[in-house]
Amino acid sequence: MPYCPNCGGENPEIASFCGLCGAALYAAPPLGPPQPPPPPAHAAVGAPSQAATSARPAGILHWTTSFALATNRFVLYDMAKVFFWTGLILSLIGVPIALANGAGRASLEEWVNVLGMFTLILCAMVLLFVLIMVVFFGNRFRAWFYLGPQGMAYETRSRRATWSNRAAIVAGILGASAGAVGAGLIASSQEEMFTPWCEVKRVKVHPRFCVISVMNGWRVLFRLYCTPANYEEAERLVRHYAAGAAVTGGLA
Amino acid sequence: MIALIQRLLLLGGLCAAAWDFTYSPPQLVAARAIDAKAEYLKRYGPVPRYRFGAMGAAEALIRQETNPGSVEAYRAGLFKRTVAADPSWPAGLVADLVAAAKGGGPYAERFAKSYVYFAAGEPLFAGIAPQLRESLKKTGYLNAYCETGGRDMEFMYHAEPHSSSAPVGVLFPQRGRAWLWVAGTLGAYLLLLPLTRGSGAHHDLAALAALDLLCAFPAAFFFGLPFRVCDSTQAALDDPLGGPVWSWAVTAVLALALIGLARRAAWRLEVDGQTLKLSTLFGTQQIPLSAIARVALHEAGEGNDFSGIDIRLADGRVVAVDWTGLADFLPIFDYFRRYGVLQAKPATNLS
């Protein structure tokens, strides 16, 4: 068990950097620095220079942390995005159907009313989800994150989440509800995730919140919820391993 | 404290908007000018030619076999249920009621389904409202009549305004003001928003603002719901322990949630010179940096969701700071590191 020379924290054998304060655990890098990364496809905004990112060795960083749910702008934004796209897609499907129904303007007015009702239902669902986050999860979610040469990983460490996922599946089977089973299975499949660096096309860093958003060409793959103790090291590793990705934001 | 005032203003303003949006007068009076002769002919005269088939034939037969009496007798039948005309009525009242039916005159916007609607408390009909109420007691749903200036008028008294066909402007007379409340409240909320900002580590104010709105609007909705669902605003207030109490209980729960959000919004940890300032909703705790013995990291682990730091003071006290959901904590953390008080506890879980 290596101990951190900076903070004294206990670290697992595979760690090359302290999971608590981010300091290097060894004088020499246990894992050799990777090959110089290819030049970034896009100009990185606010990114440190190439020399700065490769001056320190790369390695492995992993940590367990709790992140906020209802009072977290990223969670709220992701939820709002899902509901917005759901509403938009339903509108795009519904308006032509309403128009083709023959009643013309009257039918369209009916559809506008339906859309208004649908918006109210969506708002109620958002409120319900926020209530679940606050009441059931206590507005926090414990998870384990990993950054290494192969990619990044995430694992749910919230027992409530894993139990509720299993409960949804069992309740769905007992109640013959395919929807509940499906929801439980989808949630279970998200309990552990791994993304190789080759899939990463864009990175957006949010040092104010110690969050790093890792994206492919069109969506967020991962949100790395770091701690103030390891954020700088996590950002450095992401910049190092995802060297081909466009990075926006940052400490620099 | 500003954070709490800001949220109470938001809740109060939106509830005021809900009140104005749903407020309806306790009773309504519907009035119209009638022409007894025309009505007599419509009811007992020849069947119009456009009525075909069995129904038209049946109606013709009924009229043929019915002895309606004279127009005067018909009018006298109506005037069994009368109210006394108010001498203070303007001379052109009946003409205005007739004009309203044609979409003109001062009462055009109060016209709906043959009648012109007024709140029972309005000065114009306040004088006859008690008579109408008495008439309603005697005759149930039947209308009452009066003669003024040689013209006949018919009145309906609606003790349950929401069941009437009154236009929105009469049924919900304060609805226009509701939008002003909403705009003013949101404006005041946004104006106060910069005052809640400040230096140091704090909760994410944008997320809190989104949650404020997500709590305040439904709170106002559930506050106003009973006024809309019951027969009138007064009916909801007269029976608060019926249905309204459940709706208002939801409002109360959401109000408590807003107070919780205010508590988070007011929380702040900042370094001010040689002092660490911990601000909460009800006060500020100042800790001289010299009083800090060490700052220990506290990581979430098995059965422990707390993720943050323990500030251990020289006198043995411990101030625990949970950094979950905090913004701008990095500079504070760096300050502790530079100040040389940062010390990690043995990791609770690093598996």
The model carries a pTM of 0.77
pLDDT recorded at residue A53: 39
pLDDT, greater one: A65 or A14: A65
Please, what is the average pLDDT of chain A? Answer: 78
Tell me, yes or no, whether B63 lies in a domain: yes
Question: B300–A65: do the CB atoms touch at under 8 Å?
Answer: yes
Q: What are the CA-CA distances from residue B43 to residues A36, B64, B114 (Å)? A: 98, 12, 16
Query: And the tokens for B281?
Result: 């909703």
Banded model confidence at residue A38, pLDDT cuts 50, 70, 90:
very low
Question: B347–A9: do the CB atoms touch at under 8 Å?
Answer: yes
Is A156 part of the contact surface with chain B (CB cutoff 8 Å)?
no
Tell me, yes or no, whether B210 lies in a domain: yes
pLDDT recorded at residue B154: 87
Question: B297–A231: do the CB atoms touch at under 8 Å?
Answer: no
Q: Is the pLDDT of residue A35 over 60?
A: no
Banded model confidence at residue A28, pLDDT cuts 50, 70, 90:
very low
ipTM, interface predicted TM-score of the complex: 0.73
Tell me, yes or no, whether B165 lies in a domain: yes
What value does the mean pLDDT take over residues B240-263?
91
Question: A140–B214: do the CB atoms touch at under 8 Å?
Answer: no
CB distance A15 to A62 below 8 Å: yes
Q: Are residues B131 and B216 in the same domain?
A: no
Question: B204–A19: do the CB atoms touch at under 8 Å?
Answer: no
Strands of A157-236 (E only): list them: 192-196, 202-206, 211-215, 220-225
B→A contacts (Cβ < 8 Å), by residue, are 203-204, 206-208, 210-211, 214, 217-218, 257, 264, 297, 299-302, 305-307, 323-325, 327-330, 332-333, 337, 342-347, 349-351
Q: Are residues B280 and B148 in the same domain?
A: no
Question: A140–B264: do the CB atoms touch at under 8 Å?
Answer: no
Residue B347: list chain A partners with CB under 8 A.
Answer: 9-11, 19-20
Tell me, yes or no, whether B65 lies in a domain: yes
Best of A4, A142, A160 to disrupt the B interface by mutation (most B CBs within 10 Å)?
A142
Which amino acid would we find at residue A16?
S
Banded model confidence at residue B130, pLDDT cuts 50, 70, 90:
confident
What's the rounded Cα separation, in Å, for the pair A190 and A158?
12
Q: Are residues B110 and B232 in the same domain?
A: no
Residues of chain A above pLDDT 90, percent: 26
Q: Are residues B328 and B207 in the same domain?
A: no
What's the rounded Cα separation, in Å, for the pair B183 and A97?
36
The CATH number covering residue B303 comes to: 2.30.29.30
Tell me, yes or no, whether B316 lies in a domain: yes
Question: A64–B350: do the CB atoms touch at under 8 Å?
Answer: yes
Banded model confidence at residue B72, pLDDT cuts 50, 70, 90:
confident
Q: Domain count of chain B?
A: 3
State the residue range of the domain holding B300.
Answer: 268-339
What value does the mean pLDDT take over residues B316-340?
86
Give the range among A45-49, A135-139, A186-190 with minimum mean pLDDT. A45-49
Question: A73–B210: do the CB atoms touch at under 8 Å?
Answer: yes
- If you average pLDDT over each of B175-184, B275-284, B324-333, which comes out highest? B175-184
CB-count exposure of residue B25 (10 Å: 0-12, 13-18, 19+): buried
pLDDT recorded at residue A56: 54
Q: Are residues B212 and B82 in the same domain?
A: no
What value does the mean pLDDT take over residues B147-151?
77
Question: A68–B325: do the CB atoms touch at under 8 Å?
Answer: yes
What's the rounded Cα separation, in Å, for the pair B179 and B184?
8
Rounded to a whole number of angstroms, the distance from the CA of B118 to the nearest CA of chain A is 30
Give the range among A15-24, B86-95, B130-139, B314-323 with minimum mean pLDDT. A15-24
Best of A133, A227, A230, A235 to disrupt the B interface by mutation (most B CBs within 10 Å)?
A227
Residue ending a domain, among B220, B244, B266, is B266
Banded model confidence at residue B50, pLDDT cuts 50, 70, 90:
low
CB distance B269 to B309 below 8 Å: no
Q: Is the pLDDT of residue A46 over 50?
A: no
Question: B325–A72: do the CB atoms touch at under 8 Å?
Answer: yes
Question: A12–B350: do the CB atoms touch at under 8 Å?
Answer: yes
pLDDT recorded at residue B212: 93
B72 Cβ contact partners less than 8 Å away, ≥ 6 residues apart: none
Residues of chain B above pLDDT 70, percent: 93
Tell me, yes or no, whether B350 lies in a domain: no
Give the range among A50-59, A224-233, B322-331 with minimum mean pLDDT. A50-59
Q: Are residues B144 and B63 in the same domain?
A: yes
- If you average pLDDT over each of A20-34, A96-110, A187-201, which comes out highest? A187-201
pLDDT recorded at residue A57: 62
Question: A65–B307: do the CB atoms touch at under 8 Å?
Answer: yes
Q: Is the pLDDT of residue B223 over 90?
A: yes
Tell me, yes or no, whether B196 lies in a domain: yes
Q: Is the pLDDT of residue A39 over 50?
A: no
What value does the mean pLDDT take over residues B133-159?
78
What value does the mean pLDDT take over residues A106-117?
73
Concatenating the DSSP letter of every residue in B127-157 gives TTHHHHHHHHHHHTT--EEEEETTEEEEEEE
Please, what is the average pLDDT of chain B? Answer: 84
Q: Are residues B32 and B144 in the same domain?
A: yes
Q: Is the pLDDT of residue A176 over 50?
A: yes
Q: Is the pLDDT of residue A32 over 60?
A: no
Q: Are residues B155 and B44 in the same domain?
A: yes
Question: B204–A73: do the CB atoms touch at under 8 Å?
Answer: yes
Q: Is the pLDDT of residue B153 over 60?
A: yes
* Closest CA relative to residue B255, chosen from B191, B192, B209, B212: B212
Residue ending a domain, among B213, B241, B266, is B266
Is A182 part of the contact surface with chain B (CB cutoff 8 Å)?
no
Question: A11–B343: do the CB atoms touch at under 8 Å?
Answer: no
Q: Are residues B164 and B179 in the same domain?
A: no
Residue A11: list chain B partners with CB under 8 A.
Answer: 347, 350
Nearest-CB residue to A229 (from B204, B306, B333): B333
Q: Is the pLDDT of residue B19 over 90?
A: yes
Q: Is the pLDDT of residue A103 over 60?
A: no
Q: Are residues B295 and B205 in the same domain?
A: no
* Closest CA relative to residue B295, chosen from A21, A191, A124: A21
Nearest-CB residue to B211 (from A70, A124, A208): A70
Please, where are the H alpha helices in chain B?
2-22, 36-44, 53-65, 71-78, 93-101, 123-126, 129-139, 168-171, 175-192, 205-229, 233-238, 244-266, 330-339
Banded model confidence at residue B49, pLDDT cuts 50, 70, 90:
low
pLDDT recorded at residue A15: 63
Is A207 part of the contact surface with chain B (CB cutoff 8 Å)?
yes
Residue B345: list chain A partners with CB under 8 A.
Answer: 9
Q: Are residues B41 and B135 in the same domain?
A: yes
Residue ending a domain, among B169, B187, B205, is B169
Best of A17, A21, A64 to disrupt the B interface by mutation (most B CBs within 10 Å)?
A64
Banded model confidence at residue B178, pLDDT cuts 50, 70, 90:
very high
Tell me, yes or no, whether B349 lies in a domain: no
Banded model confidence at residue A50, pLDDT cuts 50, 70, 90:
very low
pLDDT, greater one: B12 or B200: B12
Q: Is the pLDDT of residue B35 over 50?
A: yes
Give the range among A120-134, B85-99, B218-232 with minimum mean pLDDT. B85-99
Q: Are residues B34 and B128 in the same domain?
A: yes
Residue A76: list chain B partners with CB under 8 A.
Answer: 207, 210-211
Q: How many Å separate Cα A113 from the centre of its chain?
A: 35
